[in-house]
């Protein structure tokens, strides 16, 4: 009750402040520019002065060098009065921040003066683009150019002027490497062309930013308003503040932004980009005689092109696109995994402008396009309708030896203040008798600002030469969420028929019905208290076979989990959870699995169901971001879990499990960084105490940044994953899978793979790069033996590209 009254009081104060702001014009303020004191128009966020009459000059002529000494800043508007939104919502920011904003005919400009009472504690590294959001102090700008409270451009700088950019997406879903935090709404996949610089001072740091209108999409209107939010984070404390006040009791953060009003005559002019590239490589591999040999050097040429049809509609095309990844996917533990592992998209052409394809469930997963010859995209917003089309010719050959033609079509319409409805169509076609097509619709409805309802349904149509008839299947999804500073709640349900085939998407489980619900409560301590926050939660999940669910039968898998997160002073977080799981499989799911006797005879395999009831699991972890030179996290899990047959995806026998991960981030200097980490897992059979599987994957990544553009990076990864053959726990006899004629042992395997990567890179701006790298893959005869290491593949590669803008 007290909390509710406090929230009501804060909301009432904001309303009164907003009403006063309408009656009282913003007061003048004084800002120091170089050695001058200049009077400018001031907008104070604490007084709800968040409606800006945008200042304009014909040509700002600002040299973006991080020093606020250009004459044009004297005509800018001053934004101040930041308030904290994490962890103590609504309190005064611990450090003062001043922001200047100015517009000319070609660009929008921002300047920052970030004051700090302890400048020596500012976190700043000369690091890779998009790579500092969880390590460095920063100031972030969010521009909602369509003022629709659904999507915004994100531009972030650290105290050295290193850039991070992306898209703030309130409509849900992503097709790229969405954010780097578990619940982040930022998709940092897109890279835009903009200018920034910053420098440290004896009172904090200052910065300048120039964002050309050619890098933004906005309505074709003579006069328009943009949403604007400015945020600042101080890493040593974890404190976050904003210019326009933010409350977690409203689901949509973009609705709480301020406004840039009076933007007139915006014109991006002719917009066209051409990004040609050349690549060269010389690869080696083991041949059929187990001899390592190198192929002749090869080279490729291709290009990407972008044309701005209007200020809000963009056409992209590519020929012989370069879809090489500069860095290989980090290794993941694969032993005893039933389902496919997800790897985020990292290829530039697919990442740019594809936020429109984000949906509640991933019906578009562009990594299904594996080896495209050419591709094209059309994306943009027309009125309240977002549209997107992506087409490609993929040399991932079909069963008939033909290329696959991919077409992805998406439309999403704005409804009301911040709700949306959408439709999607995907098509993978090789010929008239071999195709996969999916049609779907979705909606995201926000109610009362706090509640969000998300719905989606789709139907697939699949035909293959091996099918006797076409297979059609449906899926459905429903989620309810409640936002709140203290109490949060979510519940969702998903159902897919066994015949549903998302050929261009990614679903880990098909043919199941699943439901889960989560409730959490967050308690906040006072500022500077040892314990700043505590967040207990409870989560319940259940899984059914699709047909059994609709037949009214009980669930096959279920779990209940109690968790809590403790946030301590100086950015230290401890979390813990306790979970009980239950696995119950039906006899028909084991058809094809047999126990093989000593004489070769077989009998059907059926495990004892009681072995998989109420299997406990406990996890503890800690994340420390207190010190400037050393940061890291450790997680440890002890549990009981089944040993799974990966092909049949069923439990075979129970095991005791130990698993965990550790990450240590080192920053010896502002230019040198290293990440040292490892994942590990061990399963021990409960029937006889024998170790069934182990996996250890250590990884070291070292990066030296000579400048913001020039770097040298090296990666070492060792993946040791071993598992025994499956057995019947009651008899100790091996398990086999039997078809019409033969039986095959459900064998384990041994993999001791070593990978070394080195890369010299020069990347002054996105799309303009020079890369020279070497990768070597090896196989160790014995885990961490390092005595009989045999190379299995290597590659020397070169890439050169330049991004022309007109």
- Give the tens place of pLDDT for each residue, 662-682: 999 999 999 999 999 999 999
Q: Residue 53 above 80 pLDDT?
A: yes
pLDDT, greater one: 175 or 222: 222
More confident site: 176 or 778: 778
Higher-confidence position of 575 and 448: 575
So what's the pLDDT on residue 333?
46
- Could you tell me if 478 and 492 are in contact, meaning their C-beta atoms sit under 8 angstroms apart? yes
Find residue 609's DSSP bridge partners. Answer: none
Residue 395 has pLDDT above 90, yes or no: no
Q: Could you report the per-residue pLDDT of 106-149, keeping only the tens digit for each? A: 999 999 999 999 999 999 999 989 989 888 999 999 999 999 99
Of 255, 250, 259, 260, which Cα lies nearest the Cα of 89?
250
Quick check: 325 pLDDT over 70?
no
Q: Other CB atoms closer than 10 Å to residue 151's CB: what's the count?
A: 23
How confident is the model over 500-504, as a mean pLDDT?
Answer: 93
pLDDT band of residue 730 (cuts 50, 70, 90) is confident
CA 722 – CA 690 distance, rounded (Å): 13
* Range in 12-21, 89-98, 220-229, 379-388 the model is least confident about: 12-21
Mean pLDDT of 427-443: 92
Cα separation, 542 vs 494, whole angstroms: 11
Looking at 352-361, 362-371, 431-440, 725-734, which range is the least confident one?
Answer: 352-361
Instruction: Return the pLDDT at 15.
Output: 36
Instruction: Tell me the CA distances in angstroms from 142 to 65, 150, 551, one per residue in order.
Output: 22, 12, 49
User: Can you give the pTM of this predicted structure?
Assistant: 0.86
Determine the Cα–Cα distance for residues 729 and 642; give it in Å rounded to an integer.
12
416's tokens: 């009301």
Report CA 28 to chain centroid distance, whole Å: 42
In this predicted structure, what is the pLDDT of residue 8? 35
Number of continuous H segments (helices) and E segments (strands) in the chain? 3, 47
Cα-flanking dihedrals φ and ψ of residue 587, to 5°? -55, -35
pLDDT value of position 703: 95
Which of 304-313, 361-370, 739-748 shows the lowest per-residue confidence on average (mean pLDDT)? Answer: 739-748
Mean pLDDT of 450-478: 91
> For residue 178, is pLDDT > 90?
no
Q: Which residues contact 673 (CB under 8 A, 6 or more apart)?
A: 125, 127, 665, 666, 667, 702, 703, 705
pLDDT class for 400, splitting at 50, 70, 90? low
Q: What is the pLDDT of residue 269?
A: 80
What is the dihedral angle through the alpha carbons of 99, 142, 243, 111, rounded to the nearest 10 degrees? 0
**What is the reported pLDDT for 183?**
56
Q: What percent of the chain has pLDDT over 70?
A: 91
Evaluate the CA torsion angle 476, 514, 536, 680 in order and state its sign.
Answer: negative
Q: Which of 101-105, 266-270, 508-512, 699-703 has the lowest mean pLDDT?
A: 266-270
pLDDT surpassing 80 at residue 599: no
Average pLDDT over residues 721-736: 90
Sorting pLDDT into bands at 50, 70 and 90, what band is 34?
A: confident
pLDDT at position 323 is 57
- How many angstroms separate the CA atoms of 720 and 696, rounded? 5
pLDDT tens digits along 327-373? 554 545 454 555 566 667 767 777 766 778 888 898 998 888 888 88
Mean pLDDT computed over every residue of the chain? 88
CA atoms of 644 and 653, how far apart (whole Å): 8
């Amino acid at each position: 009750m007290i909390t509710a009254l406090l929230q009501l009081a804060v909301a009432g104060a904001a309303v009164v402040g907003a009403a006063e702001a309408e009656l009282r014009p913003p007061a003048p303020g004084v800002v120091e520019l170089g050695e001058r004191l200049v009077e400018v128009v001031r907008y104070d966020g604490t007084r709800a002065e968040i409606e800006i009459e945008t200042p304009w000059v014909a040509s700002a002529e600002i040299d973006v060098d991080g020093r606020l000494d250009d004459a044009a800043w004297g005509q800018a508007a001053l934004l101040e009065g930041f308030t904290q939104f994490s962890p103590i919502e609504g309190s005064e920011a611990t450090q003062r921040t001043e922001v200047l904003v100015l517009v000319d005919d070609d660009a929008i400009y921002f300047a920052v003066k970030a004051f700090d009472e302890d400048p020596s504690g500012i976190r700043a590294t000369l690091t890779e683009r998009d790579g500092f959001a969880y390590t460095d102090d920063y100031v972030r700008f969010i521009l909602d150019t369509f003022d629709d409270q659904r999507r915004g451009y994100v531009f972030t700088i650290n105290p050295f002027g290193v850039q991070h950019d992306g898209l703030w997406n309130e409509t849900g879903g992503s097709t790229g490497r969405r954010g780097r935090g578990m619940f982040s709404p930022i998709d940092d996949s897109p890279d835009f062309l903009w200018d920034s610089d910053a420098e440290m001072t004896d009172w904090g740091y200052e910065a300048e930013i120039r964002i050309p209108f050619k890098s933004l999409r906005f309505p074709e209107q003579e006069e328009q308003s943009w949403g604007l939010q400015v945020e600042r984070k101080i890493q040593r404390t974890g404190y976050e503040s904003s210019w326009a006040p933010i409350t977690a009791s409203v689901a949509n953060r973009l609705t709480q932004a301020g406004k840039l009003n009076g933007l007139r005559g915006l014109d991006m002019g002719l917009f066209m980009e051409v990004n040609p590239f050349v690549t060269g490589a010389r690869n080696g591999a083991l041949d059929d005689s187990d001899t390592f040999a190198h192929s002749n050097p090869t080279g490729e040429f291709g290009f990407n092109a972008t044309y701005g049809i209007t200020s809000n509609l963009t056409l992209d095309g590519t020929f012989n696109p370069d879809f090489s990844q500069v860095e290989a996917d980090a290794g993941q533990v694969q032993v005893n995994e039933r389902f496919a592992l997800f790897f985020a998209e990292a290829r530039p052409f697919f990442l740019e402008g594809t936020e429109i394809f984000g949906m509640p469930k991933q019906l578009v997963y562009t990594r299904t396009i594996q080896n495209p010859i050419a591709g094209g995209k059309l994306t943009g917003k027309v009125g309240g309708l977002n549209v997107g089309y992506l087409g490609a010719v993929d040399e991932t050959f079909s069963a008939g030896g033909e290329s696959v033609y991919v077409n992805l079509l998406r439309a999403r319409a704005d409804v009301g203040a911040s709700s949306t409805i959408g439709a999607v169509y995907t098509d993978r076609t090789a010929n008239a008798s071999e195709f996969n097509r999916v049609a779907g619709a979705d909606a995201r409805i926000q109610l009362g600002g706090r509640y969000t309802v998300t719905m989606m349904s789709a139907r697939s149509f699949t035909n293959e030469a091996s099918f006797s008839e076409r297979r059609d299947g449906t899926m459905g999804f429903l989620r309810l969420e409640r936002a709140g500073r203290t109490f949060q709640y979510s519940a969702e349900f998903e159902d897919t028929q066994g015949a549903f085939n998302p050929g261009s998407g990614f679903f880990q489980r098909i043919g199941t019905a699943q439901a889960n619900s989560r409730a959490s409560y967050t308690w906040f301590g006072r500022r500077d208290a040892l314990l700043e926050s505590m967040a207990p939660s409870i989560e319940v999940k259940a899984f059914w076979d699709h047909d059994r669910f609709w037949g009214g039968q009980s669930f096959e898998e279920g779990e209940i989990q109690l968790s809590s997160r403790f946030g301590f002073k100086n950015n230290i977080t401890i979390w813990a959870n306790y979970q009980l799981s239950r696995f119950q499989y039906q006899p028909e799911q084991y058809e094809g699995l047999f126990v093989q006797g000593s004489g070769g005879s077989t009998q059907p395999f059926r495990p004892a169901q009681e072995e998989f009831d109420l299997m406990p699991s406990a996890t503890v972890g800690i994340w420390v971001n207190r010190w400037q030179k050393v940061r890291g996290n450790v997680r440890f899990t002890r549990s009981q879990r089944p040993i799974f047959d990966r092909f049949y995806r069923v439990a075979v026998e129970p095991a005791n499990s130990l698993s965990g991960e550790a990450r240590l981030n080192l920053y010896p200097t502002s230019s040198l960084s290293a990440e040292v980490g490892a994942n590990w897992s061990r399963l021990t059979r409960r029937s006889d105490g024998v170790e069934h599987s182990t996996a250890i994957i250590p990884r070291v990544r070292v990066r030296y940044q000579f400048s913001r553009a020039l770097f040298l990076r090296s990666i070492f990864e060792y993946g040791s994953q071993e598992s025994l053959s499956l057995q019947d726990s009651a008899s100790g006899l091996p398990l086999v899978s039997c078809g019409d004629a033969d039986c095959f042992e459900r064998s384990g395997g041994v993999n001791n793979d070593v990978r070394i990567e080195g890369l010299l890179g020069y990347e002054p701006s996105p799309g303009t790069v020079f890369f020279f790298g070497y990768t070597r893959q090896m196989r160790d005869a014995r885990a961490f033996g390092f005595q009989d290491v045999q190379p299995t593949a290597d590659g020397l590669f070169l890439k050169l590209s330049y991004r022309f803008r007109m």
